[in-house]
Structure 1
C-alpha cells in the first residue's frame, strides 16, 4: 500500500451503518465505497493481523458478525476503529482506506480464497 501524499484522496464523509455493519466513505475525488465491518476487521493494518513482516499475516476467522463500536480520528491522516471483538490497534490511514475501497472486490475474493485454502467455511450472516 502506498504512503500518504498530497495527492492522496481524503475522506469528506465517514458514516457507520451499524444495523447493516457497513462503513460508508466518501472521498474528495468523488469515490464512494461501502466496506463491511468484517472486511475492515480482517484487513486491519495492525501487527496482530499483518504480522511483523511478509509471510507473517494471521488469517482472521469468525469475524462475520463483528461490528465497529467506535471511530476515533487520529490527526489529519487516519482513524482508529474499535471493533465489537475488542480489536482496536489498527490505524486506518486515508490512503489505506482508499486502497481498501478501490481494491475491495479483489481483496474480498483473496480473503475468501485464503479461508477456503485453510478449510474454513464462512458463516453466512
Structure 2
C-alpha cells in the first residue's frame, strides 16, 4: 500500500511556504561539515573559525627545494634509514623538519613522496631523541 508523502509547511511572515520550496534554496558545498570541509551554507558553525588558515601550515618553496635536494642525495645512497638518523644530528635539517611538520603530520603542499620522506625523517628524529 502506497502512502502519501508528508508535506511540511512553514509560516514565514504570514506566508505558507512548502518544505520543498525552502530546500530548493539550501545549498550544500560537499564534504563533511564536522571535519571542516563542506557543510550547509547558512547553518550555524558549519564554517567555524577553528578551520581558518594558520601560517606555517603550507610548505614554503625554499623548504621544498631543500627537501628535494636532500631526497635526491639520499636516494643515491644505499643505507637511507641510517642516513636519516645521522641527519637528525644536523640542526639545519632538524629545523627544516620542524617547519615541514605540524601536529605530527606533514604540512600541506608536499607530494606523496615528499610526505613519505618527511614522515620517515620525523620518525628517525623521534628515535634519535629517545636515545
**Shorter-chain TM-score category?**
under 0.3
Compare CA radii of gyration and give the structure with the larger one.
2
TM (normalized to structure 2)?
A: 0.22
* Bigger share in strand: 1
Larger relative contact order (CA 8 Å, sep ≥ 6): 1
